[in-house]
Structure 1
Amino acid sequence: MLVMEFKAVVKEPQKIAINEAIRTAKFVRNKVLRYWMDNRGVGKKELYRYNTQLRDEFSFVKELNSHACQASVENVERAIKRFYDNCMGEVPGKKGYPRFRKHCRSVEYKQSGWKLSPDKKSIKFSDKKGIGRVKLKGTWDLWQFDQKQIKRVRIVQRADGYYVQFCVKVDNHEELEPTGNAIGLDVGLKEFYTDSNGHAEPNPRFYRTGEKRLKFYQRRVSRKKKGSANCQKAINKLGRTHLKISRQREEHAKRLARCVIRSNDLVAYEELRVKNLVKNRCLAKSINDAGWYQFREWLEYFGDKFGRTTVAVNPAYTSQNCSDCGQEVKKSLSTRTHVCKCGCRLDRDHNAAINILRRALSTVGHTGTFLNAWGEGTSTLLGSDLEGQVTSLNQESPSF
């Protein structure tokens, strides 16, 4: 599956219509979720049947395309299934009980309710919400795909405007020549990552860089009268700044992950539980700013796309054990140099990266045979199924 995103050029009446469609989709989702809560044990058929009742009862729901309402029901389905899977799998911590949505910024259509123009430069939404024809700005080429390959269309509202996303069912895999290289990655806060070859990638710290500007806009929001037009403008300015930082972080993770995957046949990294790490109040902001989990997601995505092996290993004692003799050398987090009695002296992160690579090779196979072990340690592609891909907002950049 491939997700293509275009900037939508809309007029003021179209903005009102899109916002109304988004609110309607949120209304359907919350009502269906409430029906499930009040009638515990109902199945998929009952949820869709209740959706039909909502369309008969509320005229504004009937104005939205029927498949768009079904997509809202599917969102509830996935939330319920994820909750039960977490309970059955005994996932530690909170199990993700389905919750109502107060803020919703997207509406999703299936294969009806919209039609692409012959030149693929605009899209027309034909339901009764009145969105109409929307111009598309972007560098993606939709000409190479048949309209039947487009399985979902989503309108997304962001701080800087509206976007239209297309979920295209296409084989996105590419074959690359083997390089014979294997690498281990140890992520950190001082350096973004240090590999087993000793190379350290600097941490850009996008949030820390833009924090002064964020505080400036936050003060402007707090000074405005709540609910006023000036307050909304200040909130939009603040949202645009946050959006810029998040895009910088994502593009940075995407670029590095692609380069690492293309240069190595096997990539090993730590299987970190970031949501537990951010419970540390002193490091939470820096950990969120680094974007470790986002980097891992892109490693797994490009690993599947290019047929490379990606292995997540247990990070326990990778920093404490010596990569030369294997002896445990206890050190605090502030100690940045690993010094062992055997004479090994390395940077702490470099030592950990070597240990991570060795653990991965012991899982997949030794150095001479891991090139023939395709698929044994490869992580699952994010959103490889249709529903999972559509719910994700991750897209490859056209420059790739």
Structure 2
Amino acid sequence: MLVFEFKAYGKPSQFVAVSEAIRTAQFVRNSCIRLWMDNQKVNKYDLNKYCAVLAKEFPFASELNSMARQASAERAWSSISRFYDNCKKGNFGKKGYPQFQKDCRSVDYKTTGWKLGDRRKTITFTDKKGIGKLKLKGTRDLQFYQINQIKRVRLVKRADGVYVQFCIDVDKQENIEPSGNSIGLDVGVKEYYTDSNGMTVENPKFLRQGEKVLKSCQRRISRKVKGSKNRGKARQILGKRHLKISRQRKDHAVKLARCVVRSNDLIAYEDLRIKNMVKNHCLAKSINDASWYQFRIWIEYFGKVFQKVTIAVNPQYTSQECSSCGEIVKKTLSTRTHVCECGCVIDRDENAARNILSRGLGTVGHTGTFGLEPRNSLGDETSTLVGEILPEQVMS
């Protein structure tokens, strides 16, 4: 599934209609959550039927496309099913009980309620919300895909305007020559990652760089009167600053992950529980700024695209264990050099990266240099889902 995003241009009245459609989608989702809270025996199909009841009862709900209402009901059911799954797994802590949404920023249209222009540079929404025709501006070209391949159209409201996303049903795969290289990655706060060859990538620290401007924008908001237009403008400026930082993080993670996957046939990395790691208030900001989770997501995605092996290994004792002799050398977080009695003296992160690579090679049943054929199916089978632990991966 590919997602293409375009900036939407139109009249102010059209963007008011977009906001109204988003509020209606939020109302449908919250109504479905309330129905489930009152009667927990309802299922996914009952929520879809309830959309028709809401359309008859509330005129503003009937103005939204029927499939858009069903998509909002599906959002409600996804939160409910996730809660059930967490309860069955017995996960420690909160199970994610479904909550009412207070700030919805998107609405989904499925296969009806919209129509692309002849040159596919415009899109017209045909429901009764009055959105009308919007101009599309972006770097992607929709001419290469059929209309029936577009399974969903999403209107997203952000700080700098409204965007239109197209979800296209395409399996993207690229064939490249195998490099014969294997690599282990140890992510960190000081360096973005250190690989098993001793190479390091500098941590860009986008939030730290933009923190001065963010604080200035926040002070500007606090000086404005609550509810005034000037305060709303100041909030919008702050939102744009945060949006720029998030886009910088994503761009950095995408380019770096693509480069790593193209250059290696096997990539091993730690299966980190970042949700637990950010509970340390001393490192939470730096961990979130590094965006390790997003980097892992794109490593696994490009692993499937280029048909490479990606393995998430157990991170336990990767920094303490000696990569040369296997002895445990305990060290604090401030100790940055690994010194073992066997004579091995290397950087702490490089030692961890070597341990990660050896565990990854042991998982797939290989020792030494690992290479793949261009059309080997291991790239899809060994790429794990985020959150999966080592024993649940595909063995050799």
Bin for the TM-score computed over the shorter chain: over 0.9
* Structure 2 spans left out of the alignment, 5+ residues: 388-396
Determine the structure 2 residue equivalent to 1:378: 383
Deviations 1:345-377 (A, max 9, x none): 100000000000000110012136663654452
Determine the structure 1 residue equivalent to 2:265: 265
Determine the structure 2 residue equivalent to 1:3: 3
Determine the structure 2 residue equivalent to 1:238: 238
Deviations 1:22-41 (A, max 9, x none): 00000000011100000111
Structure 2 distance, partners of 1:119, 1:317, is 57
Alpha-carbon spacing, 1:370–1:90, altered in 2? closer, same or farther (3 Å): farther
The SS at the match of 2:210 is helix
The residue correspondences of 1:125-140 to structure 2 (distance < 5 A) are 125-140=125-140
Structure 1 distance, partners of 2:316, 2:23, is 46
Is the 8 Å Cα contact of residues 250 and 294 (structure 2) preserved in structure 1?
yes
Is the 8 Å Cα contact of residues 159 and 243 (structure 1) preserved in structure 2?
yes
- The range that moved more, 87-96 or 191-200, is 87-96
Structure 1 distance, partners of 2:116, 2:379, is 39
Structure 2 distance, partners of 1:108, 1:48, is 15
Determine the structure 1 residue equivalent to 2:28: 28
Determine the structure 1 residue equivalent to 2:175: 175
Determine the structure 1 residue equivalent to 2:394: none
Letter in 2 for 1:302: F
Is the 8 Å Cα contact of residues 181 and 370 (structure 2) preserved in structure 1?
no
State the Cα distance separating 1:80 from its structure 2 match.
Answer: 1.1
Determine the structure 1 residue equivalent to 2:343: 343
Determine the structure 2 residue equivalent to 1:354: 354
Structure 1 distance, partners of 2:354, 2:179, is 19
- The range that moved more, 91-100 or 123-132, is 91-100
Structure 2 distance, partners of 1:144, 1:266, is 32
The residue correspondences of 1:212-227 to structure 2 (distance < 5 A) are 212-227=212-227
State the Cα distance separating 1:176 from its structure 2 match.
Answer: 1.7
The residue correspondences of 1:1-400 to structure 2 (distance < 5 A) are 1-366=1-366, 367=368, 371=372, 373-380=378-385
Structure 1 distance, partners of 2:234, 2:385, is 41
Is the 8 Å Cα contact of residues 364 and 376 (structure 1) preserved in structure 2?
no
Q: How many residues align?
A: 382
The SS at the match of 1:312 is strand
Is the 8 Å Cα contact of residues 309 and 378 (structure 1) preserved in structure 2?
yes
Determine the structure 2 residue equivalent to 1:391: none
Letter in 2 for 1:377: T
Is the 8 Å Cα contact of residues 25 and 107 (structure 2) preserved in structure 1?
yes
Structure 2 distance, partners of 1:174, 1:97, is 40
Letter in 2 for 1:156: V
Alpha-carbon spacing, 1:320–1:58, altered in 2? closer, same or farther (3 Å): same
The SS at the match of 2:175 is coil
Alpha-carbon spacing, 1:133–1:282, altered in 2? closer, same or farther (3 Å): same
| TM-score after normalising by structure 2 | 0.94
Alpha-carbon spacing, 1:114–1:375, altered in 2? closer, same or farther (3 Å): closer
The SS at the match of 1:143 is helix
Structure 2 distance, partners of 1:56, 1:340, is 74
Structure 2 distance, partners of 1:379, 1:11, is 45
State the Cα distance separating 1:379 from its structure 2 match.
Answer: 2.0
Is the 8 Å Cα contact of residues 182 and 264 (structure 2) preserved in structure 1?
yes
State the Cα distance separating 1:91 from its structure 2 match.
Answer: 2.0
Letter in 1 for 2:143: W
Structure 2 distance, partners of 1:122, 1:131, is 12
Is the 8 Å Cα contact of residues 186 and 270 (structure 2) preserved in structure 1?
yes
Is the 8 Å Cα contact of residues 180 and 371 (structure 2) preserved in structure 1?
no
The SS at the match of 1:119 is coil
State the Cα distance separating 1:312 from its structure 2 match.
Answer: 0.4
Structure 2 distance, partners of 1:139, 1:327, is 53
| TM-score after normalising by structure 1 | 0.94
Is the 8 Å Cα contact of residues 270 and 356 (structure 1) preserved in structure 2?
yes
Is the 8 Å Cα contact of residues 63 and 128 (structure 2) preserved in structure 1?
yes
Is the 8 Å Cα contact of residues 364 and 370 (structure 1) preserved in structure 2?
no
The SS at the match of 2:136 is strand
The SS at the match of 2:311 is strand
The SS at the match of 1:244 is helix
Is the 8 Å Cα contact of residues 361 and 370 (structure 1) preserved in structure 2?
no
Alpha-carbon spacing, 1:135–1:375, altered in 2? closer, same or farther (3 Å): closer
Is the 8 Å Cα contact of residues 261 and 267 (structure 1) preserved in structure 2?
yes
Letter in 2 for 1:202: E
Structure 2 distance, partners of 1:226, 1:209, is 29
Is the 8 Å Cα contact of residues 126 and 132 (structure 2) preserved in structure 1?
yes
Letter in 2 for 1:36: W
Structure 2 distance, partners of 1:374, 1:143, is 30
Letter in 1 for 2:361: L
* Structure 1 spans left out of the alignment, 5+ residues: 383-400
